[in-house]
Amino acid sequence: MAGDESSGKIDYTALRRKLDEAQAVLEGAQVLSPERRREVLAERARALAESRHEERRETVSVLAFRVGGERYAVPIDAVDHVLESKGLCPLPGAPRHVLGALVSRSRVVPVLDLRQVLGLEGGVSDLTRVVVVEVSEEFFGLAAEEVDGRQELPRADLSHPPPGPFTFLTRNRLMVLDLVQLSDPSVVGRG
């Protein structure tokens, strides 16, 4: 028995260690030293971190939505938030591609009408959501009929898009918008 019986003291630490070792033998598990356990956990953490990093390089995260019966997307890291189009105020004298403005999070956000920019069909009542994006510390909204949500696009499936404010086109006809081009009034105003 663990401990010194002549003095009546029991070494509980040694006893717990022996009980743990015995339990491990009974369960068929290997007993790992604390150092070996740290090594194994560090190896697992490195492998997990590398797999996540590789996965990010192989996909592009986007927020997909619909406008004029077509599917579009914007890079997820540029999306500030999505809100309902209620409260959209017209801006007299604004270019046709500017649908109006919303007050969102204590700032006025101009909302672009992609139908005008891209030559699509549809009525104003169809636009129920606004995807608010940030480009170079400037915010603007993109009016949408419906938001499909976040999608991970495999880089292998991305091809060069048709001419226009696009960065990628997927095999299933999802066009990823070039927000830098859309934020430039001289480029958008031509549409």
pLDDT digits (tens, 9 = 90+) for 25-52: 677 666 567 887 788 788 888 888 776 6
In this model, does residue 7 exceed pLDDT 70? Answer: no
Count of domains for the chain: 2
Residues 138-153: pLDDT tens digits? 999 999 999 999 999 9
Same domain, 38 and 110: no
Same domain, 26 and 91: no
Give residue 14's pLDDT band: very low, low, confident or very high (50, 70, 90): confident
In this model, does residue 158 exceed pLDDT 70? Answer: yes
Domain of 104, CATH number, reads 2.40.50.180
Q: Is residue 4 part of a domain?
A: no
User: Per the structure block, which two tokens stand in for 127?
Assistant: 């636009």
Same domain, 110 and 179: yes
In this model, does residue 1 exceed pLDDT 90? Answer: no
Q: Is residue 3 part of a domain?
A: no
User: Per the structure block, which two tokens stand in for 82?
Assistant: 């999505």
Over residues 107-116, mean pLDDT: 91
Give residue 54's pLDDT band: very low, low, confident or very high (50, 70, 90): low
Same domain, 136 and 90: yes
Domain span at residue 78 reads 60-188
As a whole number of angstroms, the distance between CA 133 and CA 155 comes to: 22
Same domain, 38 and 116: no
As a whole number of angstroms, the distance between CA 165 and CA 186 comes to: 12
Q: Is residue 100 part of a domain?
A: yes
Same domain, 40 and 98: no
- Neighbour-count burial for 131-158, b at 16+ CB within 10 Å, e otherwise: bbbebeeebbbbbbbebeeebebeeeeb
What pLDDT was estimated at residue 189? 47
Same domain, 135 and 46: no
Same domain, 65 and 154: yes
What pLDDT was estimated at residue 127? 85
Higher-confidence residue of 4 and 175: namely 175
Same domain, 181 and 100: yes
Mean pLDDT of the chain: 83
Same domain, 42 and 84: no
In this model, does residue 186 exceed pLDDT 80? Answer: no
Q: Is residue 1 part of a domain?
A: no
Same domain, 53 and 66: no
Same domain, 22 and 65: no
